[in-house]
Amino acid sequence: MYMYNLAWIVPLLPLISFVLLVAFGNRLKERAAYLGIFFILGSFVLSTIIFTQKYLQKGEDYLFTFRWFRAGDSDYGIAGGSIFNLGFEVTELNALMLFVVTAISLAVFVYSIGYMRGDERLPVFYSYLSLFAFSMLGLVISPNLFQAFICWELVGATSFLLIGFYFYKESAKVAAKKAFLVTRLADLGILIGILLLFWQVGSFEYRDIFAAVEGGALAPWFITLTAILIFIGAAGKSGQFPFHVWLPDAMEGPTPVSALIHAATMVAAGVYLVARLFPLFAASTVALLVVAIVGAFTAIFAATIALTQNDIKRVLAYSTVSQLGYMMLALGSLGYIAGVFHLFTHAFFKALLFLAAGSVIHAVGTQNIKEMGGIGSQMKLTRAVFLIGALAISGFPLLSGFFSKDQILMAAYGSGNTFLFWMSLLTAVLTAFYMFRLYFLTFGGKVRTAISAHESPRSMTIPMAVLAFFAVFAGYIEFFGFGEWITAGGTIAQEISGPVWIMIGSIAVALLGIGLAWYVYGRDADATLAKAPKPAPLYKLLYNKYYVDELYDTAIVKPYTLFGKFLILFDKYVIEGMVQLAVHISVGLGRFGARLQSGQIQAYMLVTVLGIATLLISLAVRGLFN
Amino acid sequence: MTGEYIAFFIFAFMSITGAVLVINLTRVIHMVLAMGLTFLGVAGLFLILNAEFLAFVQVLIYAGAITIMMALGVMMTNQHHEKQVRRRWHSFFAFVGAVTIGGTVFYGIYKTPWVCNPSGFDENNILTIGERMFTEYVVPFEIASVLLLVALIGAVLIAKREGDQ
Amino acid sequence: MVPLSAYLAVAAILFTIGVFGVLFKRNSIIVLLSIELMLNAANINLVAFSKFGIYPDTAGQIFSLFVIAVAAVEAAVGLAILILYFRNRGTININEMDIMKR
């Protein structure tokens, strides 16, 4: 008894939760959390069932659509030739995403009970989280680009709400605006891409688009163009260069938000979309190359910046950007399986890392790792799970990250982009290094902070432990036929098999990175910090994020603001001026008219005489005197 | 050059001179006197036009009563301060308007081909007027007398000092 | 024989000067006087036409008599009002009589 036809309930439950929380949240106060958790638990259970059922029965997708409104007809009739359809479908990719999103959401929901305790806007927080869950899940089960775009924008809007949750902080407001504006700018690409596709294909449905691609109905340059445009939008959401600037600033939001949105779900939406439209991308080698290059570049770019950051959340943010670059690299190298696999594992260990960081911040009160240190002994569980996460992301053997990263490297090597392959290998070293720098500075050494750290409450530690479990064991899904399963829908993918030395190489670089970090920071963190040299130019460059933000500010923001100011002046003087002109004319006419009625008798008589004169002249001219 | 012409020119000249002086003299009492001159000139014109009765009435009423009345009025409303307010626009337009009226009338006069039948009015003018006045125009005559009465009473009432009976 | 147009011309000139006086003089008494001037010009016209017109008729002269009567009446009443005004306001400068603007 398959439950695919109930998949629409999965996004619906968080939506109901949102409505209820908005209506009754104020009255529930602290208990609002339990309401949110109740509904998301229901979603999780249902999506687990669907996932396991789909895993055992691959190949047949379930689709259900209905017409939303009619506005013209299309040749492709899913629901009677209509264009604007809504619905849902259950494919292998969808089922996987449903499981991941609901699992992480559940973990974050439970975690937030402890983290956000005492915040008087707790019901609001849970309502935003529920709305976000709804939009992300809606995006994931969309059967067509139309519904996907609606949910895409909803995801952006809810992330804006969540990033700017501490709206009384100026930095949070600015960060929320920045996130929304940058992703909105990137969304221009995806919108144009969707419109172009619709123009040529005549339908928004994924099926119809893939059929058109395979049938050769679209010109090659057209496929390349639309694929790149859609990738621009995906790059914005996933924080790829040059749209990465919003992600680090988005750390202004509460840490559970960072875990949910910027580790596991929203940023994965870009990767998900590229994966979902893989047949479109696969049909154009140029597009694939663009995706791979951007991904690889972003990976190493973000990794270098992460080396120098001192804010624990920012290091993790750049790490996210870097890992997403890895996924894009994989997809661009036709490594569909590798990319999706890494998406799966990354969600778990990155969320874990963020939650652990949140636990530390909650206990210590600061986010600057230079002010932490030596708290490992007081926060044993947090330290343990953080270590697990760090090992996973570094690709330590037998943990989940190892398997997925290995596949990415093999895909990169196998696709012939050898330069990118070496770049990603280097990135792996850097990843391990900065991750363990973070670990050692935070947990190792002597106590550098004034506040005594304490372990977090169980509401926070239990989700972390569960995620740690997944971070360790999620990779073993490979041995259960993950590769064949995920491509069972007929997606083109490369064979994941490469020379053995790649696997050895990846282990080696991971250990190299960890070892270096231990050498510099692990043995005696305080000494290293003490003899920090004056910042070299390279260090400054990295610390200031390659000055990309400043570049954007001068090149884009300032001219645009200037233009806006010019428009304000234009409005004030030209348009207002015209209105004022009308006013002045009326007033002037009125004043002039008022002067006519001066009370001067001779003026009145003058008017009479002039009138008579005019009459006489007109009579004379008319010739009545003749 | 008959005597008629000479007389006409003299009387026309008198009238026009008086009128121009009214406009251009400085003191009000002089202006009133110049007006009297005009009235006399007009009376002369009436004479040439064989309207003797009218000429005498004109001298009696206009040059006599009205001129004296205006002179008395001037004496009673003697203003000492003379404010010179230059009203350029106003005087310009007044000049223009007046000249236009005059000009068009002139134009009309000299364009129209008048038919001149010099009639004989040598008979007794006054007799004719008297007869017609009391037969055809007796009603306007009576109304005019009522009007004069009303004006008399009205003027007295208006200009009475307050507090008097 | 003086032509008709000569008399009419004289009357026109007097009328014009009268109009200018009404419009331009500051003293109200002179304004009244200018009105009398205009009436006189009209009288000249009437009498001239009564002699030279198409059907010469004494009716013109009779009409002039009435005009003179009414003019006298009007001058008298006008002067009475002016004197009253002068008593109340102290001025007969026509520019200062502007209560009508309200």
Mean pLDDT by 10 residues, chain A (626 residues): 78 91 83 87 90 78 76 57 78 87 91 84 90 92 90 91 89 88 89 88 81 79 89 88 86 87 80 88 86 89 86 89 89 85 89 88 78 73 86 84 84 79 87 87 70 72 82 77 70 64 82 82 64 64 76 80 88 84 91 80 88 88 67
- Residues A379 and A39: their CA atoms lie apart, in Å, by 31
Q: Is-contact A390 A442, C-beta < 8 A?
A: no
Q: Which residues of chain A have a CB within 8 Å of the CB of B112?
A: 625
| C61/B154 CB distance under 8 A | no
Contact list, B94 vs chain A (CB under 8 Å): 602, 606, 609
Which residue from B90, B93, B101 is facing A612, i.e. has the nearest CB? B101
Number of domains observed in the structure of chain C: 1
What pLDDT is attached to residue A92?
A: 83
Nearest residue in chain B measured CA to CA from A616 = B104
Taking an 8 Å cut-off on Cβ atoms, the answer to whether C75 and B66 are in contact is yes
Residues B73 and B136 in one domain: no
The answer to whether the CB atoms of C101 and A599 lie below 8 A apart is yes
pLDDT of C55 over the 70 cut:
yes
Task: Tell me the nearest-neighbour CA distance from B165 into chain C, angstroms.
Answer: 17
Q: Which domain holds residue C18?
A: 4-94
Comparing CB atoms, the residue among B39, B49, B115 nearest residue C51 is B49
Quick check: C19 contacting A, CB < 8 Å?
yes
B155 inside 8 A of chain C by CB: yes
The alpha-carbon gap from C23 to the nearest alpha carbon of chain A, in Å, equals 5
Residues with Cβ within 8 Å of residue A508, at least 6 apart in sequence = none
* B7 and B60 part of one domain: yes
Q: Which residues contact A279 (CB under 8 A, 6 or more apart)?
A: A210, A213, A214, A491, A492
Nearest C-alpha in C relative to A606 = C23
Return d(Cα B62, Cα B44) in angstroms, integer: 13
Instruction: Write out C21-86 in H/E/C secondary structure.
Output: HHHHCCEHHHHHHHHHHHHHHHHHHHHHHHHHCCCCCCHHHHHHHHHHHHHHHHHHHHHHHHHHHH
Judged by a CB distance cut-off of 8 A, whether residue C54 touches chain A is no
Q: Is residue B105 part of a domain?
A: no
CA-to-CA dists, residue A218 to A176, A189, A211, A544, angstroms = 39, 19, 10, 44
Touching check for B65 and chain C: CB below 8 Å? Answer: yes
Q: Identify the domain containing residue B48 by its residue range.
A: 1-79
Whether residue A598 and residue C98 make contact (CB cut-off 8 A), yes or no, is: yes
HEC string of A388-425 equals HHHHHHHCCCCCHHHHHHHHHHHHHHHCCCHHHHHHHH
CA distance C69 to chain A (A): 24
B68 and B7 both lie in a single domain = yes
* Closest C-alpha to B101, from A620, A329, A292: A620
Please answer yes or no on whether B23 and C56 come within 8 Å at the CB atom: no
Q: Mutate which of C19, C28, C31, C34 to test chain A, going by most A C-beta atoms within 10 A?
A: C19
CB contact under 8 A, C56 and B144: no
B141 belongs to a structural domain = yes
DSSP letter for each residue of A117-149: TT-TTHHHHHHHHHHHHHHHHHHHT-SBHHHHH
By Cβ distance, the residue of A597, A598, A605 closest to C23 is A605
- Binding partners of C (≥3 Cβ pairs within 8 A): A, B
Is the CB of C95 less than 8 angstroms away from the CB of A600?
yes
Average pLDDT, stretch C44-61?
85
Question: What's the token pair of residue B90?
Answer: 């106003």
Alpha-carbon span A274 to A276, nearest angstrom: 5
From the list A418, A256, A423, the residue with the least C-alpha distance to A325 is: A423
Residues in chain A: 626
Contact of B25 with chain C, judged by CB distance below 8 Å, is answered with no
Residue C54 belongs to some domain of the structure: yes
Closest CA to A487 of A274, A337, A281: A337
The answer to the question of residue C64 being in a domain is yes
CB half-sphere exposure, C47, CA atoms < 13 A: 33
Cβ proximity of C34 and B34 under 8 Å? no
- Cα B18 → chain centroid: 11
| B39 band by pLDDT with thresholds 50, 70 and 90 | very high
The residues of B whose Cβ lies within 8 A of any Cβ of A are 90, 93-94, 96-98, 100-101, 104-105, 107-108, 111-112
Q: Do B148 and C32 touch (CB under 8 A)?
A: no
Q: What is the pLDDT of residue A80?
A: 53
**pLDDT at residue A452 in the model:** 65
My answer on whether B123 and B75 are in the same domain is: no
CA distance C98 to chain B (A): 15
Residue B13 one-letter amino acid: F
Domain-embedded: residue C74? yes
Is residue B125 located within the same domain as residue B67? no
Q: What CATH number did the domain enclosing C36 receive?
A: 1.10.287.3510
Mutation target for B interface from A617, A621, A624: give the one with most B CBs within 10 A: A617
State which of B79, B99, B132 marks the end of a domain.
B79
Complex prediction ipTM: 0.90
CA-CA-CA-CA torsion sign (A422, A528, A386, A500): positive
Q: Do B125 and B68 share a structural domain?
A: no
Element (H, E) at A621: helix A601-622
Query: Which uninterrupted H or E stretch holds A72?
Result: strand A62-73
Q: What is the mean pLDDT of residues B77-93?
A: 75
Give the Cβ contact number of residue A445 at 10 Å.
Answer: 22
Terminal C-alpha separation, chain C: 56
Measure CB to CB from residue A610 to each of B93, B104, B107 and give the nearest one.
Answer: B93
Q: Which two tokens stand for residue A510?
A: 């991971």
Are A76 and A203 in contact by the 8 Å Cβ rule? The answer is yes
> In A285-399, which residue ranges form alpha helices assigned H by DSSP?
285-306, 312-332, 336-364, 380-394
Looking at chain B from residue 115 to 144, which residues have their Cβ under 8 Å from any Cβ of chain C? Answer: 115-119, 121, 125, 128-129, 132-133, 137, 140, 144
Q: Are the beta carbons of C79 and B117 separated by less than 8 Å?
A: no
Q: What is the spatial distance between Cα A472 and Cα A392, in angstroms, rounded to a whole number?
A: 7
pLDDT tens-place string over residues B103-123: 989 988 888 888 776 666 566
CB contact under 8 A, B32 and C29: yes
In a domain, C100, yes or no: no
- Which residues in A have their CB inside 8 Å of a CB on B? 602-603, 606, 609-610, 612-613, 616-617, 619-620, 625-626
Q: State how many domains chain B has.
A: 2
B53 and B4 housed in the same domain? yes
Q: Which helix (H) or strand (E) holds A516?
A: helix A500-517
Environment class of C64 (CB within 10 Å of its CB; exposed 0-12, middle 13-18, buried 19+): buried
The C-alpha atoms of residue B11 and residue A25 are separated, in whole angstroms, by: 110
Assess whether the previous peptide bond of A242 is cis (omega < 30° from 0): yes
The model carries a pTM of 0.69
Q: Which of B97, B98, B107 sits opposite A620 (nearest CB)?
A: B107
CA distance B105 to chain A (A): 8
User: Is C101 contained in some domain?
Assistant: no
Helix, strand, coil percent content, chain A, rounded in steps of 5: 75, 5, 20
| C8 vs A: CB within 8 A | no
Residue of A nearest to C31 (CA): A602
Q: Do C80 and B31 make contact, defined as CB atoms within 8 angstroms?
A: no
The residue of chain C nearest to residue A608, with distances taken between CA atoms, is C23
CA dist., res. A516 & res. A387, Å (int): 16
CA of C99: which chain A residue's CA is closest? A599
Is C102 contained in some domain?
no
For residue A33, give every residue at least 6 positions away whose Cβ sits within 8 Å of its Cβ, in sequence order, or none. Answer: A109, A112, A113, A116, A122, A126
Of A51-55, A316-320, B17-21, C93-97, highest mean pLDDT: B17-21
Residues B75, B1 within the same domain = yes
| Domain end residue (candidates: B56, B79, B102) | B79
pLDDT at res. C37: 95
Helix A418-443 and helix A500-517, axial crossing angle in degrees, nearest 10? 30
Place of tokens 């012409």: B5
Look at residue B86 and tell me if it is in a domain: no
Cβ–Cβ contacts within 10 Å for residue A165, how many? 20
Of B93, B101, B111, the CB nearest to A606: B93
Same-domain pairing of B13 and B69: yes
Asked if B69 and B123 sit in the same domain, the reply is no
Look at B107 and A613 and tell me if their CB atoms are within 8 Å: no
Is B108 among the domain residues? Answer: no
